[in-house]
Amino acid sequence: MGKVDRKKLESEVYKIVGEIPFGSVVTYGQLARLAGFPQCARMVGYAMAHTPEASGLPCHRVVNSQGRIAPNWPEQRALLEQEGICFRTNGCVDLHKYMWKEISHLDG
DNA sequence: CACGTGACCCTAT
DNA sequence: TATAGGGCCACGT
């Protein structure tokens, strides 16, 4: 196995992110698996952190496996709340409630 | 070239 | 329910 093709990973991930429906969230790990890079959740995070603002992609709908939003980006919470997503007292979204249904089978 | 870092994830304690 | 540690891999210094 050679090195990961970051460009390929990015294009695949961005394509999927663009399809996340309003009011739903997806985890980094799920994105990695859907994109065909199951061991690269970290790279997905890297890609998200470098997503051009001009892309218009709904990267705020991507959270970690605990439903926690990205550090150093508090705005993400407001963006999700605008879509009707409520936060628990521990600061996480309820994945069982807001997970993108079409891919929720990738959980376990 | 070696090392530290990060919008991560899983298992064990 | 919390923390700790290992694995992961590209990137910048």
Q: Convert the pLDDT of each residue in A50-59 to its tens digit.
A: 999 899 999 9
A40, A59, A86, A92: the active-site residue = A59
Locate A95 and state its tokens.
């994945």
pLDDT > 70: percent of chain A: 94
Tens-place pLDDT, residues A43-77? 999 999 999 989 999 999 999 999 999 988 989 99
What was the pLDDT predicted at A45? 95
Q: What is the pLDDT of residue A105?
A: 66
Identity of the amino acid at A58? P
Whether residue A106 is predicted with pLDDT greater than 90 in this model: the reply is: no
Protein CA A108 to sugar C1' B7 (Å): 22
How buried is A96 (Cβ within 10 angstroms: 0-12 exposed, 13-18 middle, 19+ buried)?
exposed
Q: HEC profile for A42-94?
A: HHHHHHHHCCCHHHCCCHHHEECCCCECCCCCCHHHHHHHCCCCCECCCCEEC
d(CA A38, C1' C7) / Å: 13
What domains can be seen in chain A, in order of their start residue?
Answer: 6-101 (1.10.10.10)
What does the mean pLDDT of chain A come to? 92
